[in-house]
Structure 1
Amino acid sequence: MEAFLVSTGIVALAEIGDKTQLLAFILAAKFRKPVPIILGILAATIANHAFAGALGAWITAQVAPGIMRWILGLSFLGMALWTLIPDKFDEDEARLTQYGVFGTTLVAFFLAEMGDKTQVATVALAAQFHAFVPVVAGTTIGMMIANVPAVLLGDRIAHAVPVKLVHTIAAGIFAVLGVATLMGAAEALGY
């Protein structure tokens, strides 16, 4: 349950103001059809985060636990810093209209999420918790928590959310995970 809750919370916070959330705003404004947009976001997130979770599980199986703790601790600290950097959105990512609303959303979201902080977080969380299904379910729910309101309420909430504060909180959570993981790594080495 911890893996699910931590994954949900971190990704929901990290997604606020993220380029994929900005993409959700743009798709909602462009198409004004929330159901296929939400379903496209869900399908793209499940596919993307399942891949990321599988990668995290595979990496864990390949790397010795002591080394893995250091990699994860430093990765979480890196994610904390990355979360504080505002995302920029390229409107070309939303120009795939020949696929219809669902297809455009699916392709645009999947591509926008590749290498994004929430995908990298999913890899790290799956490696940290050794819990593929709870992590992928949690990160997917976290994406939906952040993006469904963006699709449904659009500009009405875009300016009401204190993005900098939310990013600071998400960065703090990543930093705590990083420090805790590094402390466990140091403890394992007898420090």
Structure 2
Amino acid sequence: MASFIKALLLVVVAEMGDKTQLLAMAMASKYKVKQVMMGVLIATILNHALAVAVGSYLGNVIPMDIVKIVAAVAFLVFGLWTIRGDKLDDEEEKKVKFGPIVTVAIAFFMAEMGDKTQLMTISIAAENSKPLLILMGTTAGMLVADGIGVIGGAWMCRHIPEIYIKWVAGIIFMFFGALTLYKSVPAAFLTPVYIILFLVALGVLIYLFGVKFAYYGQVCDIALSGQEVSADKEKSCSSETVN
């Protein structure tokens, strides 16, 4: 059960402001929420089943000490990726010539390939021996995070600055990454010199990803525009009913 909860919480954190959350929010302005969430569910199960299979295989063929170090570095990268934010390209919002659920599932599956949450699922699966619980946890985490974005994205944008969400999520990842790295690397690398060099390098990377090359604003732009589209649809339906 601990593996399920860990996977769920980490995916929720990773998905905040992620490209696939942006895509789910954009799709919600075109289709019904239940159709979007069903498409997300189908795509996530398929995508993360692949990720869990890859992670479980790597965990079996690579020594666990190396797996933990790689996972720790990956978490640091995910933290930097999170504070930088993601950008949704216009091509990823294009409609596919299928029904709403299949359209969302295909778009979401393609967007998730090589994305942060898929790579993180591989890392979690490589560290654990319970692939089914990891799959269930990461799938539930995607549904929770994308549900928050679709249903409560506009509310969050009005009450919580986007930058706060990204920085809190990124710091959580970097904290766990640094802690895991501290517990995994050989004692010879835990000297003051190496620790100071690590902190300086991490500080420079945080500045570059979190300030210099960061993406901000798109989450709220999509959330608020989606709410406006939904409001316009309701008005048009009401006027048609009256007529």
Q: Distance in 2 between matches of 1:139 and 1:121?
A: 9
CA deviation string 1:145-175 (max 9, x = no partner): 1112333456455544433222222222222
| Residue of structure 1 equivalent to 2:12 | 12
CA shift for structure 1 position 115:
0.8
* Equivalences, count: 190
CA deviation string 1:41-87 (max 9, x = no partner): 01101111111111111111111122222211211111111111111
| C-alpha contact 2:28 2:150 (8 A) present in aligned 1 | yes
Q: Distance in 2 between matches of 1:177 and 1:137?
A: 22
Letter in 1 for 2:122: V
Give 3-state SS (helix, strand or coil) of 1:84's partner. Answer: helix
- TM normalised by structure 2 equals 0.71
Q: Distance in 2 between matches of 1:187 and 1:117?
A: 27
Q: Distance in 1 between matches of 2:158 and 2:125?
A: 33
Letter in 2 for 1:73: A
Alignment CA distance shift 1:129-1:168 (3 Å):
farther
| Residue of structure 1 equivalent to 2:53 | 54
1:10-89 matches, within 5 Å, as 10-31=10-31, 33-89=32-88
| Residue of structure 1 equivalent to 2:166 | 167
| C-alpha contact 2:17 2:82 (8 A) present in aligned 1 | no
| Residue of structure 2 equivalent to 1:92 | 91
CA shift for structure 1 position 18:
1.2
CA deviation string 1:77-126 (max 9, x = no partner): 11111111111001221223311101110000000111111111111111
Corresponding position: 1:2 with 2:2:
yes
Alignment CA distance shift 1:149-1:41 (3 Å):
same
Give 3-state SS (helix, strand or coil) of 1:30's partner. Answer: coil
CA shift for structure 1 position 5:
1.4
Letter in 1 for 2:167: T
Letter in 1 for 2:12: A
| C-alpha contact 1:28 1:154 (8 A) present in aligned 2 | no
Letter in 2 for 1:21: Q
Q: Distance in 2 between matches of 1:154 and 1:71?
A: 33
Alignment CA distance shift 1:81-1:111 (3 Å):
same
Q: Distance in 1 between matches of 2:188 and 2:136?
A: 33
| Residue of structure 2 equivalent to 1:115 | 114
Task: Give the share of equivalent positions with the same residue, in percent.
Answer: 36
Question: Where does structure 2 lack aligned partners over 5 or more consecutive residues?
Answer: 191-243
| C-alpha contact 2:64 2:127 (8 A) present in aligned 1 | no
Higher RCO (CA-CA < 8 Å; seq separation 6+): 1
| Residue of structure 2 equivalent to 1:184 | 183
**Cα RMSD after superposing both structures:** 2.2
| C-alpha contact 2:74 2:177 (8 A) present in aligned 1 | yes
Alignment CA distance shift 1:21-1:78 (3 Å):
same
Alignment CA distance shift 1:54-1:158 (3 Å):
farther
Q: Distance in 2 between matches of 1:169 and 1:104?
A: 32
Q: Distance in 1 between matches of 2:86 and 2:189?
A: 40
Q: Distance in 1 between matches of 2:18 and 2:137?
A: 17
